Every structure is written in C-alpha cells, then in structure tokens.
Chains A and B, each alone.
Chain A
Amino acid sequence: MIPLENFLILSGILFATGLYGVLARRSAILILMSVELMLAAVSINFVAFAAYLDGEAFSGLVFALFVITVAAAEVGLALGIVLRLFRERRTSYVDAADSLKW
C-alpha cells in the first residue's frame, strides 16, 4: 500500500507550483490555469484523506466533488471577466486592469 505521505507530498509540490504560477505570470488566463493546479492539489488531499483516514471515506469525496464544481464555475466566470477586460483594454494582462488602483 502506498503511504499517505506520498500523496500529500505530491499535493504539496503541485500546490507550490501553482502558487508560483499565480505570482509569476502576468497573463490572466495563465493565472487562471495556475489556480486550477492549486485546486487540483487540494482535491488530491481531500480524496487521499478520505481514502486513508476516514472509515466511511465519504466527506472527503463530497468535498472533492464540490471543489471540482466550484472550479468549473470559477473558470466560466473568470473567462467572462477576461473577455470583458480584453474588450475594454485590448489585452489580457492583469497589469492593464488598474482602474481601481491609485
């Protein structure tokens, strides 16, 4: 049996990589993709804990399902915002979205 730590280490690496992407990238779509990486890392943790530590193995699965749902909703909404940003500024780089910055 694969030890639980392996899954947690994989998830940690994935999350840290996604965080790097969110911080280092400038394109809104690339930031969105990095956020997807972070959400996938969290889902791995939920499912691994559910399979290894929860006797019924259920709550974690439901949480993973909801994370996937929320991620799908988030991508749809965020791409709408990106399209709007592109229409107003002719670019999808987040540096262009500075109307509220003083």
Chain B
Amino acid sequence: MIERLPLPAQFDRIIMVGGTAAALVMTPILVVLLALLIGDEISAAELVFWLAFTVIVAGALGTVLLSNIVHAALALIATLLGVAAIYLLLATEFIALVQILVYGGGVVILIIFGLMMTNAQADPVVTDGSQKPFAAIVGVLLGSIFIAAAIDAEWGAQTAAVVPFRDFGARLFRDFIVPVIIVGVLLDIALSGALVNARPPRDDADEPAAEGEATS
C-alpha cells in the first residue's frame, strides 16, 4: 500500500465518482474520434479540437450546474485548461501559457481561497433559484443566436497566421504601450480596492464607537 496523507473519507468518494464519470464520458468520444482519425475522416488538429470542445462544454456545464461549490471550481479548472488547449491549437503559445498561469495558477486559487473563507458550503441548497427556468431560456436563446450567426455569416478569406513570440513582445510594448500603461494603472487600482475591501475591520478601541455606528 502507498503511504499517503490522511484525507477526509469523502475525498475518496469524490475521486472515484468523478473519475468514473469522466472516464465514462470521455472514453467513447475518444474512441470515436480515434476511429475517425484512422479512417482519415478528420485531421489530428480536428481531433484535438473536438477533445477540447468536449472538455470545455462538459466543464462549463459542471461549473454552472453542480451544487457543490468545490466541484464547480474543479470543473472551472477543466474548462480553462481546455481553453488553453484551444489557444495552442490556434498557434498562439504565449496566450495559452498566460491563460494557464493566470487562470489555473491565480484566478482559480483565489476563488477557492475565497470560498473556503466565506464557508459557502454551509447551505449549498440555496444555489438553485426560482429564476432558473428564465435563465435557461435566455441562455438557450442567446446560444442559438450565436451559433446561427456564426454558421450563417460569410467570413471571407481565412488565413492561419502565426505571430512569433519575439514579435509579440516587441509590438506589444511599441505599438500598444498606452493600453499597457492603462492596464497597469487599472491593476494598481484593483489592488488598492481589494485591499481596502478585504482588510479586517479595526478594533475601534481608541475611537468613539458611536461614530462608526452612525455611518453604517
């Protein structure tokens, strides 16, 4: 037996159920795609695309449908990694790496920390609102409009262009220097705002208590 850290008992169940479900969903799709690839129906790039498509859509549905918030966060990670795969497919390695670094490494960790701190698991039932049918109608309608528009439109000549890494940095800091500066200022403001909002409240020991109470 492998020696391992003591984990909560439900952890094993989560891994078993989640792994089995993912295997059950992904294996037939992978088999079908491989058969199509061998039969020269699709290219290798299309195989990768459809795999990423499956991961992204399944992860997105998990993010919005799962009632357990930690599971939803895990599904979000899967979706964002799938999006990174799409960027790689479009030959934009830099954006793909930034996506993995910023989203997988930063944003999701922040979100998981946030939900640990707010103990949002205490009442998971409330996540389902009465506005659910309305939200489903709006989502399906908008999605149909997007798909219909994408299929219907005439896109003209399509060229698969590739930007080399070096050109990207050079042009970013030469032609787009003003947006870069503005984004820097924006990040500064966001940092200050997050700090001000998340700072623990002061113990107003040496201040009159009535002053704080009156404004809130």
**B95 interface neighbour in A14, A64, A86, Cβ under 8 Å:** A64
**Chain B neighbourhood of A73, CB < 8 A:** 186-187, 190-191
| B132 in the interface (beta carbon within 8 A) | yes
Given contacts A1-B160, A16-B142, A25-B129, contact A92 B60 (CB under 8 A): no
B114 touches A52 (CB 8 A): no
- Interface membership of chain B positions 18-44, coded 1 if the CB is closer than 8 angstroms to chain A and 0 otherwise: 000000000000000000000000000
Decide if the interface of chain A is mainly helix, strand, loop or mixed.
helix
**Chain B neighbourhood of A48, CB < 8 A:** 90
B161 touches A51 (CB 8 A): yes
B80 touches A47 (CB 8 A): no
Given contacts A51-B92, A68-B103, contact A4 B158 (CB under 8 A): yes
Decide if the interface of chain B is mainly helix, strand, loop or mixed.
helix
B interface residue count range (under 10 / 10 to 19 / 20 to 34 / 35 or more):
35 or more
- Give the shortest distance, in Å, between B145 (CB) and chain A (any CB): 8
Given contacts A40-B80, A68-B103, A79-B110, contact A23 B138 (CB under 8 A): yes
**B111 interface neighbour in A16, A68, A75, Cβ under 8 Å:** A75
A74 touches B190 (CB 8 A): yes
B83 touches A43 (CB 8 A): yes
- Give the shortest distance, in Å, between A39 (CB) and chain B (any CB): 9
Given contacts A24-B129, A29-B115, contact A58 B171 (CB under 8 A): yes
Once the chains are docked, how many angstroms separate the CA of A24 from the CA of B80? 21
Given contacts A29-B114, A33-B73, A51-B90, contact A21 B95 (CB under 8 A): no
Once the chains are docked, how many angstroms separate the CA of A57 from the CA of B168? 10
- Give the shortest distance, in Å, between A83 (CB) and chain B (any CB): 5
| B131 in the interface (beta carbon within 8 A) | yes
B79 touches A81 (CB 8 A): no
**Chain A neighbourhood of B171, CB < 8 A:** 58
Once the chains are docked, how many angstroms separate the CA of A82 from the CA of B87? 31
A79 touches B198 (CB 8 A): yes
Given contacts A13-B143, A17-B61, contact A80 B193 (CB under 8 A): yes
Task: List 6 additional contacts besides A51-B92, A79-B111; criterion CB under 8 Å.
Answer: A2-B46, A10-B57, A16-B143, A26-B128, A34-B63, A75-B111
A-B pairs with lowest CB-CB distance, top 3:
A12-B146, A16-B143, A21-B64
